[in-house]
Structure 1
Amino acid sequence: MAPMAMILIGATISNVAVPSITEGLGASPAAISWVVSGYMIGYALGLVPAGRLGDRYGHKWVFILGLIAYMVTALVASFSFSELQLVVSRVVQGFAGGFVIAPLYAYIQILFTGAARLRAFAIFTVVTGAAALVGPLIGGQIIDMVGMAQGWRFALTAGLPLGALALVAAFPLVPQTRNLTRGRFDFVGMFLLAVVVVGFIAPFIQVTDAGLPEWATASFSTAAVLAVVFAFWIRHRERRDAFPLVPFSFFTRPTFSIGMVVMFLAFAAFTSAIYIALSVLWQAGRGESALMAAMVTLPFSLGSILGGFMAEHTTKLFGRWALTCSLILLVVGLYTTYLTLQTDAQSHLVALVLPLLIAGMGSGIFVAPCMDTVLNGIHEKDAGAAGGFSVTVQRTGAAFGMALVFIAVSQPGPDGSFTPEVMTHDGIVAVLICAALLSVALLLSVVTALATPRAIPAQTPAAPDAAPEEPELEPAGGRG
């Protein structure tokens, strides 16, 4: 979990450091956009190949090499003296981040079952929520201490001590996995998936006040066509037992395929979109300070951390319906927030604390049962591919949600103006969009629960000395 905290602290700090980068490096708005979006694209591109390389050669060395690459590129970025150097290093850093995160999901799938797996995903949620909460505070403090001109250089490396500790501990503590599957790495599949991911994400990243860029239709069309080609390709590889990048059999499982759509919609709503919607409403609409805009989203963030602690117990209590229960909390919380603001756009912050806290608890509970449902039944030999693909879906969903909300809050009034009243209206509509996305996810989660043959087992984790230090994965056709 230490590298996950490092990566999230670095990602959130980079957003806070944008003004400092602009002043200190003299970076253009286009370069600043790619400092943030290039990292996101690199991250999305690295996940599935990292997971599959781990399945093939062992997750330990993928994790260690990714961690080293991430730390080195973070240092290179902090010493940047040109826009190009900073952008390139951020893209490579994001790609390396994918090589760190994919093994984490694989290890949770391989080393834990039942209640222990739920607990691992719950800890994962708590760590991510806490890191995302403290990252901007750390970055802001560093920039204030060092100064705007050079503060960003120190801020971009703030999480590296966590990475260094994790690197030292990884050699003796992280077990190696040995996959006995034979076959060459699927470079064709990697290329096809990369084009699909970039083709789908890039237009959302380049959203402006005028909406999606002119080339968005061509980009989406190309991505859709190549997604079909990718599906045929991995099916062909799997039939030949040739180790496809993502096994086609994943998508024949209703819990996996429908669960991925649920994950996409949920992450589109609660990862960044709801924060942007409330921030625009509070600052551009109501004229409040950035601090007050942060305060209005604080209940959601705290609720997410609290929900992470509740995830294991909730899943034990409700079984396969735990995912639906988490989405009910999200839908009730955000619709209540919407109705409160629709009734009185100037509602006091206190009136929104409870609904946003409830919604945040839903988001914190969501991850553990969702990941456990999606990955349930996936063989250990494919754990890296399944984990990497699931995180790619999460990141793609987050980009989609951010674009929808940005388009919503960029709509002018009837006279073409952006008055506070117009921005208030746009912000409230953006909250409704987030609630609507979650409503669709809620309906699909019911289908997923009905497709799940039995409740998620609440097993007691095995004693530490009963587990092999280096679990050896069996070949396909071994245990189910």
Structure 2
Amino acid sequence: MRVSDTPTDGTITEKQRWRALMVCLVAGAMTLLDVSIVNVALPSIRDGLGAGPSTIQWVVAGYALAFGILLVPAGRLGDARSRRSVFIAGVVLFTLSSALCGAAQDPVWLAVARVLQGFGGGLISPQVSGFIQTMFTGRDRGRAFGLFGASIGVSTAIGPLLGGVLVNAGGPDLGWRLVFFVNVPVGVVLVLLALRWLPRAGTGHRQSLDPVGVVLFAAAILLVLWPVVQGDQDTPLSQRPWWFLAVAAVVLVLFLLWERRWAARGEETLVDLSLLRVRSFTTGLGLGTFYFAGFTAIFIVLTLYLQEGLGYSALEAGLTQLPFAVGSAVSAFLAGRLVHRFGRWLVVLGLVGVVVGLVVIDVIAPVIEGMEGLKLAPALLLAGFGGGMVISPNVTLALAEVDPARAGAGGGLLQTAQRTGSAIGVAVVLAIFFQSAAATGGDLGEALSYSLRTTIALVLVALALGVVDLRRRTADPAPEPAEVVR
């Protein structure tokens, strides 16, 4: 391929813009897919490598931990240097570490490779929202974020299905390795396409990377996520070291004080503190955190119920969740086209759809008999359709008033909040699931109900934030910049 096709002056044609978006979306979907695809392969990994519960936990949580720590620093690095270079480096690291995961000969090898894979994903993800923010404007930006939201919803929901297909195809020895090896050819193609199609445009001058801010922020995120990765998936909530959160709060205060001092010296900071004064951004930050805390956990507890409670295979469990992926993909694409017109209304209606879908699942799942997966399909389709109206419009609205030059750091902060919410939500909901199962003598239907009610509560918090922001936007008729949408 000819690298010379890539423009160097920051101006790209319409065709090049959408080609570049395709590269970004595939890479972003690949990193998010690895959050859920591994879950159905855990029994095979445990048997194939003789991995204990703590190592299995690190296979899941180590990826999320590394991913979350690097998001904001990687977004800042892309803003300050070259978003294209950071993206390509992330894809290379993700691809190589995927190969290492697939070739693992012992549990520690796999756990370390998963952490490296998480670092690769953390480098990639903030560049995706950064590229969208800088390459697109107006309605096209809404459409691009709509496709981004569709890729998030589909990759998260379809992960168990793809994992089940690969595990069944490869058998107990090779199946779990295929879950990782499948990323290798995709990563190689992405690197070649990125070299050709991603724009080279940079900031024009070398900005400060704020190394002290990077260390303090990473330490705070590590302290927040550490209680999540400690212990097994069924470790009671009371036995997790939640006191780390108090230490994290102290470190975050130190981080904010340092950022103010660094900014006072005229240097660029890791996090643009002015973002925290933008209501649309802070609302999107909080809404995304609570939504992902509930959204991500749904698939794990539903998979556990179907496989452990109803005896479904990994493939059957994945197929059951396919309606959610279909609904999410369709509505996210439509929402990207409509967000410029309806704004926060789309998010609020989407959250209502998610809540209604989850309530229906909670009511019927424990009592239906026979063809359970088929009977759950309408409720999962409704929840997925609602979810697709949440993710991309929320990102579009949150970043609408953010300077494109800081899009990587802003997008990284949004995704850090989402990943942190996901990790904590999964830990809490799983603990509730296993504790409920133990308290009810192994009644997984009852355990599913308790878990779903927890996820519904988390989504309701997101809905409350959306309603508050909608009322604020309705009450404040002040004009906004042309690129800002209501």
Query: Fold match, TM over 0.5?
Result: yes
Tell me the distance in 1 between the aligned counterparts of 2:240 and 2:121: 28
**Is the Cα contact below 8 Å between 1:181 and 1:243 reproduced in 2?**
no
**Is the Cα contact below 8 Å between 2:207 and 2:268 reproduced in 1?**
yes
Tell me the distance in 2 between the aligned counterparts of 1:277 and 1:12: 12
Tell me the distance in 1 between the aligned counterparts of 2:312 and 2:357: 23
**Of 451, 457, 477, which aligns to 1:436?**
457
Deviation at 1:98, TM superposition (A): 1.0
Deviation at 1:193, TM superposition (A): 1.2
1:353-403, CA deviations, whole angstroms, 9 ceiling, x for partnerless residues? 333211111111111210011111111221110011111111111112112
2:291 counterpart residue number: 266
Gap change, CA 1:330 and 1:231, over 3 Å in 2? same
1:122 counterpart residue number: 146
Does 1:36 find its partner at 2:97? no
**Is the Cα contact below 8 Å between 2:73 and 2:214 reproduced in 1?**
yes
**Of 198, 201, 204, which aligns to 1:177?**
201
2:20 counterpart residue number: none
2:255 counterpart residue number: 230
Does 1:22 find its partner at 2:43? no
* 3-state secondary structure, aligned to 2:237: coil
**Of 384, 402, 406, which aligns to 1:360?**
384
Gap change, CA 1:237 and 1:341, over 3 Å in 2? same
Deviation at 1:36, TM superposition (A): 1.6
TM-score (norm 1): 0.86
Letter matched to residue 169 of structure 1? L
1:161-193, CA deviations, whole angstroms, 9 ceiling, x for partnerless residues? 222112111122100232146543111111111
In the TM superposition, what are the counterparts of 1:459-478 in structure 2 within 5 Å? none
Tell me the distance in 1 between the aligned counterparts of 2:39 and 2:375: 29
**Of 41, 46, 49, which aligns to 2:73?**
49
**Of 403, 415, 425, which aligns to 1:401?**
425
Tell me the distance in 1 between the aligned counterparts of 2:213 and 2:280: 23
TM-score (norm 2): 0.85
Question: Which shows bigger deviation, 24-33 or 193-202?
Answer: 24-33
1:122-178, CA deviations, whole angstroms, 9 ceiling, x for partnerless residues? 212333344445544444444444442244334311022222112111122100232
Letter matched to residue 309 of structure 1? F
1:33-77, CA deviations, whole angstroms, 9 ceiling, x for partnerless residues? 112211111111121111101111120111111111111222223
**Is the Cα contact below 8 Å between 1:412 and 1:418 reproduced in 2?**
yes
Tell me the distance in 2 between the aligned counterparts of 1:302 and 1:196: 37
**Is the Cα contact below 8 Å between 2:77 and 2:209 reproduced in 1?**
yes
1:299-355, CA deviations, whole angstroms, 9 ceiling, x for partnerless residues? 22222122222212442442332221211222222233334458x465955554333
**Of 228, 232, 241, which aligns to 2:266?**
241
Letter matched to residue 447 of structure 1? V
1:471 counterpart residue number: none
Does 1:161 find its partner at 2:182? no
Does 1:330 find its partner at 2:354? yes
Tell me the distance in 2 between the aligned counterparts of 1:456 and 1:419: 57
Gap change, CA 1:155 and 1:313, over 3 Å in 2? closer
Letter matched to residue 390 of structure 1? L
Q: Percent identity?
A: 34
1:188 counterpart residue number: 212
Deviation at 1:284, TM superposition (A): 4.8
Deviation at 1:213, TM superposition (A): 6.3
Question: Which shows bigger deviation, 222-231 or 299-308?
Answer: 299-308
**Is the Cα contact below 8 Å between 1:200 and 1:220 reproduced in 2?**
yes
* 3-state secondary structure, aligned to 2:249: helix
Deviation at 1:428, TM superposition (A): 0.8
* 3-state secondary structure, aligned to 2:321: helix
Tell me the distance in 2 between the aligned counterparts of 1:101 and 1:82: 29
* 3-state secondary structure, aligned to 1:242: coil
Deviation at 1:215, TM superposition (A): 5.3
Tell me the distance in 2 between the aligned counterparts of 1:446 and 1:420: 39
Deviation at 1:103, TM superposition (A): 0.7
Does 1:198 find its partner at 2:219? no
* 3-state secondary structure, aligned to 1:411: helix
Gap change, CA 1:403 and 1:139, over 3 Å in 2? closer
Does 1:110 find its partner at 2:131? no
Does 1:390 find its partner at 2:390? no
Deviation at 1:115, TM superposition (A): 1.4
* 3-state secondary structure, aligned to 1:246: coil
Tell me the distance in 1 between the aligned counterparts of 2:315 and 2:208: 53
1:466 counterpart residue number: none
* 3-state secondary structure, aligned to 1:156: helix
**Is the Cα contact below 8 Å between 2:138 and 2:340 reproduced in 1?**
no
Query: Hey, which bits of structure 1, 4+ residues long, moved more than 6 A?
Result: 454-459
1:279 counterpart residue number: 303
Tell me the distance in 1 between the aligned counterparts of 2:103 and 2:123: 23
Letter matched to residue 455 of structure 2? C
